[in-house]
Copies of this chain bind each other. A is one copy, B any other.
């Protein structure tokens, strides 16, 4: 963990997503290309890269007796649907709250 991540850790304490929601900080495009994985401008449905900043506990199953486990955790780099979710700004930085089902893949 570097200084760079410190504000994100603060945020995770500030914002606890409910059920199967996650808070994501989008990766900027320059950083995405350095990782070798990017989304073509010609793509029909453009996904976006980002990092999981906070994750909910999972939603309850239909009986309410147990939660469906989450497949992502804080710190995961992920691909997600760019136009999914709800935008918020915390301490001047933009974040996105979306459901785990809008996350396509973990970028390892």
**Chain copies in the assembled complex:** 7
- A91 in contact with B43 (CB, 8 Å): no
Tell me the count of chain A residues lying within 8 A, CB to CB, of chain B.
Answer: 55
Docked CA distance A21–B14 (Å): 24
Docked CA distance A82–B10 (Å): 25
Docked CA distance A86–B47 (Å): 7
- A105 in contact with B97 (CB, 8 Å): yes
Q: Which of B43, B86, B89, B90 contacts A104 (CB 8 A)?
A: B86
- B40 in contact with A89 (CB, 8 Å): yes
Docked CA distance A81–B54 (Å): 19
Docked CA distance A88–B56 (Å): 27
Q: Which residues of B contact A94 (CB under 8 A)?
A: 40
